[in-house]
Amino acid sequence: EILELEQICTAMYETGDANVRQHAEKVLVGLVGDPHVLDKCQLLLQRATSPYSLLIAASTLTKRVTKQGVPLSPQQRLDIRNYVLNYLYTGAKQASFVREELTLLYARITKLSWFDSSKEEWYFRTVIADISKFIQGNPEHCIVGVQLLNELVADMNRSDNLKPLTRHRKIAASFRDTTLFEIFQLACGMLSQALISGDQMQGNEQCTLLASVLQLTLTSLSFDFIGTSYDESGDDLGTVQIPTGWRNTFVDLSTSQLFFNLYNVLPNSLCSVVMSCLVQIVSVRRSLFNNTERAKFLGDIVKGIKGILENPQKLSDESTFHEFCRMLARLKSNYQLGELVKAPFYQDCIQLVAKFTVTSLRMWHFSPNSIHYLLSLWQRLAASVPYVKAQEPHNLESYMPEVLKAYVESRLESVEIILRDGLENPLDDTSFIKQQLEQISTIARCEYNTTCQLLVQTFDKSASQLEELLRNNSDNQLLLLPLGTLTWIIHLVGAVVGGRVSFAATDDHDAMDGELVIRVLQLMDVTDRRLPSGNGFVTIELAFLSFFEQFRKIYVGDQVQKTSKVYKRLNEVLQLADDSAVLSVFVTKIITNLKYWSDNESIVTGTLHLLGDLSVGFSSVRKLVKLNAVKFLLENDPSSHFPFLGPDSKMADLRCRTVFYTALGRLLMVDLGEDEDRLVRFMMPMTNMFETLKQMLQSSNINNIVLLNLIGVARDMRGLTYAFNSKNSYSMLFELIYPTFTDILQRAIELWYHNPAVTTPVIKMFGELVLNRGQRLNFDVSSPNGILLFKEASKLICTYGARILSIGETSKEQLYSHRLKGISLCFSLLKNALSGGYVNFGVFRLYNDRTLEDALNVFVKLVMSVECNHLLEYPKLSSAYHTLLELVVQDHMNFVCSLPASVIYHILSTVTDGLAGLDTMICTCCCTALDHVVTYLFLAGVTTKRQRDELERSRDQHFLQVMMERPDILQQALSTVLHTIMFEDCRNQWSMSRPLLGLILLNQDYLSTVKKSLCEPSMDHGPLNPQSVGNCFEQLMSGIEKNLHTKTRDRFTQNLSVFKRDINDILKAESQERTHTEGLD
């Protein structure tokens, strides 16, 4: 059997047959659940010859150790850990990937068993003692020992391998307090020893050992000391929260000096890791030192940076260069400019840093991702200049222009090289360039006179080159160079204009802005004149849009002074006297782009977002509607002027149509009032399209054009419906589109239910139509529109639900796009319809109308068709389902009670799963849903209310019977809620308290069992005093009557806050006692 298993392991990685690999994967996945998995994995480790078999054995053991539900006994875990250590020490040399998996297994067992003890002995905490024999052995054993420690520290720091999060934090905090510093000292000691014996550091084995020790040091310094789940994407703000117990290690400067010395003597291959350690040391929290110590520590760091820059040869390595740039950025984020200028070597250091920055910026092709950190340093320095109170000069006014000039000139020089060599254009990465430009804007504003002179000179030079080429009718290829440089300059102009801050702005600066803006608008006029002949340049058009966005934020709106010098210069040169005139330029450019760039998705998307932003502003939208161009848009069919709206559009993403019609809808709403004739004229192209689509859908003449028109009109109508958020406008719109348009949507779902390109916009459109946004669905008393609208929504849900359920299994790749996404949208649609408050749902039952019941039945069928794990894995699906379920059990509990037992159990299990989830919003929804269920059950069991009919009585009896057959469901919910409140970081305690009272009243006998289990030692805590916990529960129920009245609930919620506080005190006392015991040991 073991030989067969080894063959399967080998086939998993070596076979080229997909079927054989799939079979092997299936067998190996099932191995984790095998009752004899431990014996099989041990035999594989002992006898297997293939490294892949060893890898599978180790990884399977890791999965089995981590597996929830059926934990291994402490003795089994101890045996596995000891076996792994012995195997690594005495076994043959393994492949690196096998050793990595075995070290992970050791680390995972140690983490999961950290609080396991027997007779006050902590078997799994003897980390240093366990690994000391490795450290003291030959270099090969020493490397393995260091790797074991490194993987242990790394695994202790990972929060995604252990649930709940509070359990991980308790283990990590205990490890930090008892073991981590000892590991860090061990690593620093080994590095110090290596530094003393410097001549031995060049051998391969010695370099491997040093690399492992450096990595261990870096992992220790990168530990999440205070449990904040530090996100590396916010790298520039990463303060290292070193514990106070480590203070002396940093105060005496021995640690920082050790790493600066190591950088000087180690080979280049190891310097990047040394630099990473220095990044963490520079980021050590300021509060670890007093003022004198901090100044001394900072002085040592500045001296070290000066030494590195005086001998910069090792910075030629890209990774070392990158880490050095990170260190410079961290230095300024952790220390104020006023402190830096007082450092002994500041003047020399800042001069070297400026020289280094200029050189680095001019080498734009070398490590481009590192430039962010250099710009971040100078951005922070520039932002600090107005606030410096130190007497010492900072001299930044002389260095900032040099840095800016280097950036500008290097970007302009790069254009020719990119065109010549066919390199990737950095302007194509919009998010990357946007981030850099934000940093440059602050640097540029520091010495703004110099900045403007530089930009004006470079702009005029490139513009004159372009003008000369255009005058000579030069080939388009020759135009690429000046257009490319002008593209960069336009981006830079937009950035510096957007960097204006009101408290630092002056009339002279605004006048300079005017000079720059004039040049951009004049250039835009030149490029626009070339568009009708098809001679456009995409990147410069995107630069214009970026410029408009920055100008709009600063100089268009209520906050802009009409006397601004910008408009004075614009009026003198371009006759643009105020922001209304500039808005006219904006709109003209928007129309031009939509007309001539309809096949370019990025330009159309950017243009429409600019239009959307303009249509939101209170004052700008009122100025826009007075413009002739906007009036023309609102009074004519846009699709006849803008090709991206037509059937021949090449746009792959049609969502831009929604953005366009949302903006048009907002513009129309400004002066629409109750003018129904105006709305009819505006809607005429769409109503004509409705009629055309209706005729085509009824015939057999259905082609791709019909499909595209249908998708387009659904997206257009969604945009309009979103914009019409008042009662009058919505009512007029509804009268125009019902029933023709709703019939078209119903027919579309019948025909293309399997095509998400159709179902997604159609269901989203209907979801917007039934959404009571801003109480717009407030129909007159005599109007049936509310009920008619719900009936249409129900019909669409039933149509889609029935057909999507008729489809067989969906492939894994298409599961979400072709099935789960549509189901999620149906849930959102039904939630919007049920929560609108414009339908009296009792009417349906009164008149034996099954509209509501059919919709709810389809909802249940869809829920039953979705696997429970999918409800947790897909956030949008999970959110839509739980918010809808909350509504259903709140307002339609009579329907839930009549469901079959299996369905009720399934729904309640999803609620219990949601209670234990990490998403606070979903957890709150589950608490509310559970509260409604528990309240209904409690009232049905303890009251003798008079049922109105036999149906209601039998329904209640059915629900009671169903719940009595499976009391474990509510008992599990009770345990989960109590455990969350007592031992986890409960962020929605009030929501948790609402169902808890009902759960306790329904499960009073089971509560004693829960109390006992909570007192027993677990991964979260040691043994708790049963009497103390019992007293907490007595206080929790003190003064609580056996009812669920509002007054009783409020009293219980107050008691729960006291209960939580008392439990925390018990846990703190238990933790302190345990720590004291460990110290004595």
Residues in the chain: 1081
Q: Which of 715, 713, 827 is nearest to 819 (CA)?
A: 827
Separation CA 12–CA 28 (nearest Å): 9
Contact criterion met (CB below 8 Å) for 250 and 284: yes
- Mean pLDDT score, 825-832: 97
Greater pLDDT, 334 or 26: 334
Q: How confident is the model at residue 158 (pLDDT cuts 50, 70, 90)?
A: confident
pLDDT surpassing 60 at residue 460: yes
- Give residue-wise pLDDT tens across range 27-63: 888 888 788 888 888 888 888 788 888 888 889 888 8
Distance, first Cα to last Cα, the chain: 46
Predicted confidence at residue 204, as pLDDT, reads: 77
Residue 739 preceded by cis peptide, ω within 30: yes
- Give residue-wise pLDDT tens across range 1000-1009: 999 888 888 8
- Mean pLDDT score, 208-228: 91
Residue 164 preceded by cis peptide, ω within 30: yes
Tokens of 286: 């300021």
**Percent of all residues in the chain with a pLDDT value above 70, rounded to a whole number:** 95
pLDDT surpassing 60 at residue 1076: no
Predicted confidence at residue 1071, as pLDDT, reads: 67
Separation CA 972–CA 974 (nearest Å): 5
C-alpha dist (Å) from residue 962 to 897, 934, 946, 955 = 9, 13, 21, 11
Q: Which of 405, 427, 319 is nearest to 370 (CA)?
A: 319
Q: Which amino acid is at 1024?
A: L
- Give residue-wise pLDDT tens across range 346-393: 999 999 999 999 999 999 888 888 999 999 999 999 999 888 887 888
pLDDT surpassing 70 at residue 1068: yes
Domain ranges of the chain: 579-672, 677-866, 896-1081
Contact criterion met (CB below 8 Å) for 542 and 601: no
Predicted confidence at residue 1080, as pLDDT, reads: 47
Q: Which amino acid is at 85?
A: L
- Mean pLDDT score, 754-772: 95
pLDDT surpassing 90 at residue 704: no
Q: Which amino acid is at 528?
A: D
Q: Where is average pLDDT lowest: 76-90, 107-121, 210-224, 1064-1078?
A: 1064-1078
Predicted confidence at residue 233, as pLDDT, reads: 47
- Give residue-wise pLDDT tens across range 962-1006: 999 999 999 999 988 988 888 877 778 899 899 999 999 998 888
Q: Count other C-beta atoms under 10 Å from residue 126's C-beta.
A: 13
Predicted confidence at residue 199, as pLDDT, reads: 53
Predicted confidence at residue 1020, as pLDDT, reads: 59
- Between vectors from CA 1010 to CA 1008 and to CA 1015, what angle results, nearest 5°? 100
